[in-house]
Amino acid sequence: MGSGLYNLSRVMDTLAPALLGMPPGGGPWGKRTFPAGEPVVEVVGGRATGKTALLDALYDGYHAWVPTARVDLGEAPYSADDQGDRARLDTANASPVTNLLFTASHQLGYERDGSRHTLTFPRLAPALLVISAWRPEPRDRDARDRDAPHRDSPHRDDVAPADLVAAEEELGDILAQRNPDPQARKVVVGRWLNALGGVVAGLLPGVPGLQEVLSAATDTLLARSDDGRDGSSWWRSHLDRIDGDAVQRLFALVRKFRRGGAARAEVEADLIAALLADINGSYGPWARRTQHPPLILLDNVDEALRERFLGPFVDRYARDSREWRGRGRIMLPVVFATSLGDGSAPPSLTTDAPPWTKPERCPPHAWLLRLGIPKVDDAEIRSMLGDAAYPPSLPDVIARLSGGRTGDALLLAGAATARLDEPGPFALDQLLSLAVPGSAEPVGARLLERLLPEPDVREEVLRIAPALDAEAAARLLRADRAALPGTSPELRVRRLRDATLERPHWDHRPWPTGHSEPTPLITDRALRALLLHRLRTGADEARWTGLHALSAARYNDGDVRSDDSDRHDRRYLHHALAQGRIDTLVVRAMHYRYLHRAPAEWLGDLNLIAAAPQAWEGFAPGGPPDDDAPGCASCEAGADQRVHATIRLLLATAWRLSAPLSAVPPSYRDADLVHVRTALEALCTDYGNSPRRERAYNAYVDAIADGGWIDALVNGVQAPDLPVKGSSR
């Protein structure tokens, strides 16, 4: 079970059964692995890394056997991408947290064929209903409208039915009494609930379970006494800081909730406590020892919901576990949450022992167990490809283009195996253009849509994909007439970086530049490769070269005119190579630099320049030199013209081998590796024999030796990551 999850299979096959006391698909009750209480598990990773697939597998494996709630928090009414839209999620009578609690309690209350237990929520239900449906008495409504976070509540006088208004006013009067007659209040509360029944479905659009909440709340609010047999008695003890009896205290929560800010956060924490108390209260002493716990699955917990829900939930979870220590077994839900983040280095625990075995030693936040998602490795990608007769380099190319993301690797492997089943040769450079199985959409486009799901953001990032820094990106936006006018290009780039490109869930690997600012702007290698492929295949030669000419204009501020100059910024030469100017500019400039730079610096420059994206489609980087190219000044000055040809061979070969869709050289006898070795040996010998005013360490030796460029290339390393050792002396 769970084999399709690859690097998350152990969570499914080992951790989940230990938490729930049975394997997926049902089974007898097992000995509890975590006797002091289970941890809350948060799975952290980037997009398309398998987070949602894990929750799918957990739901399929357990929902028929235990009460289960599964909520995707990525959209309204729980979350929103835009800060303005997020603010609108908090209204006078609802918040993302109350909406989540509505949904979770609704789903946990389902009856299931295989489940021997159905949960009820006598504590949570009346509180949720009162907060969502109750309007303060008439004399307080003006103040309420001033204090409410928004004035779009559906309970204003102009939309409330007349019988509901009358029932609210009658109930408001009796709640204001110090010692109301219990029977009279029961009648009035019943009248309010009856009047509310006709409008409850429209209170919170998009939130399920309101009718069930109304039914549960009715049983609680109309209970005869406060003797502990109903949820209202729990609120009486829990809200001991508020005056009045249980019902009065419960209705008093409304004013506090509608004040917003810290007051609302306190009420939300009270509601979370009610949820956990209801879950535990649904099981008797014997059931807590013999029944499996319920399961809550929360997908896409964003930063705001981490602060507003997951943090307070874990705090209460830990508190309840500690308070029950020594009193018997508490029944808390098993919780799996997923969030977008850097899965390679999640925060470690702050104690030297698992907190769920020694809770008295641990702070509450230590009860949150964060698990990162590792990248899929070569063996796992090969298993995705199955028995297909694929080219030897295909797993390496899939790893390169997926960035190790499980979902992306699966999509690429699926497209490749579908193509391999068809007749005709398979070319690696066609991989991103293959159709997604069952669709006409190219796999490269589908990958981009998954990594950048918002269309506007995706198009904006595409516009700046060639840029190596923020200023070059602003130049691209400024020149794009199709881009939306209004906001300055510099501000748009800053917003893209803050909201998208610099988020921690990307695989940030800046190029090893050695000097100047970090390069490139988009540091996730796979994302950048996909963006540039999309641009290159969607543009003709003029459009493609124009983008790189515009990006190159950011550099060479000193008005460098000579094609042979040592003063060309290497980022300028990077963009010039992408334009196909290998003979008319780049090799000539690199020949001049070879004569005037130390070997380590020269190899570092070539490393960055050879990382340029391939020129327009149809351009052959390994083709013969351009016959129309002007003569090289360094050659004409008496330098060996064979050095010029050697530099061209090394640059063209390293550039071709560094394309994201290029094959890895299969062996050390590969023709491309022979060319690289021959070129490096020639430069090493020439540098050693040539007179120099300032001798520098011959880094060409390291490039040829073990652990140098040849070993790196045969192991799939590409520019700009080819190793450069040594330093100037």
Q: Is the pLDDT of residue 447 over 60?
A: yes
Question: 109 with 257, same domain?
Answer: yes
Across the range 572-576, mean pLDDT stands at 94
Tell me what percent of the residues of the chain surpass a pLDDT of 70: 85
Question: 594 with 637, same domain?
Answer: yes
Domain-embedded: residue 518: no
Measured between its terminal Cα atoms, the distance across the chain in Å is: 60
Domain-embedded: residue 636: yes
- pLDDT score recorded for residue 278: 94
Domain-embedded: residue 435: yes
Question: 294 with 440, same domain?
Answer: no
**Coil/strand/helix, residue 646:** helix
**Coil/strand/helix, residue 68:** strand
Question: 433 with 316, same domain?
Answer: no
Question: 368 with 397, same domain?
Answer: no
Instruction: Categorize the per-residue pLDDT at 49 as very low, low, confident or very high, splitting at 50, 70 and 90.
Output: very high
Q: What is the bridge-based pairing of β-strands 40-45 and 68-72?
A: unpaired
Question: 266 with 385, same domain?
Answer: no
Please tell me the chain's helix, strand, coil percentages from 3-state DSSP, rounded to the nearest 5.
55, 5, 45
Question: 236 with 267, same domain?
Answer: yes
State the angle between helix axes of 210-221 and 124-133 in degrees (0 to 180), rounded to the nearest 10. 110
Domain-embedded: residue 111: yes
Domain-embedded: residue 212: yes
Identify whether the C-beta of residue 421 lies closer than 8 Å to the C-beta of residue 388. yes
Question: 384 with 300, same domain?
Answer: no
Residue where a domain terminates, one of 393, 417, 450: 450
Question: Which of 31-45, 179-193, 475-489, 688-702 is modeled with the greatest confidence?
Answer: 179-193
Residue ranges making up the domain that contains 419: 378-450
Other beta carbons within 10 angstroms of residue 566's beta carbon come to 14
Domain-embedded: residue 528: no
Question: 209 with 282, same domain?
Answer: yes
Lowest pLDDT segment from 287-301, 451-465, 514-528:
514-528
Lowest pLDDT segment from 43-52, 57-66, 162-171, 275-284:
162-171
Q: Is the pLDDT of residue 203 over 70?
A: yes
Question: 341 with 437, same domain?
Answer: no
Count of structural domains, the chain: 3
Identify whether the C-beta of residue 385 lies closer than 8 Å to the C-beta of residue 394. yes
Question: 356 with 383, same domain?
Answer: no
Q: Is the pLDDT of residue 526 over 60?
A: yes
Q: How far apart are CA 333 and CA 335, in angstroms?
A: 6
Q: What is the bridge-based pairing of β-strands 295-299 and 40-45?
A: unpaired
Domain-embedded: residue 404: yes
Residue where a domain terminates, one of 328, 354, 372: 372
Question: 251 with 400, same domain?
Answer: no
Q: Is the pLDDT of residue 133 over 60?
A: yes
State the angle between helix axes of 96-108 and 210-221 in degrees (0 to 180), rounded to the nearest 10. 80
pTM over 0.75: yes
Domain-embedded: residue 551: no
Average pLDDT, the chain: 85
Residue where a domain terminates, one of 428, 450, 472: 450
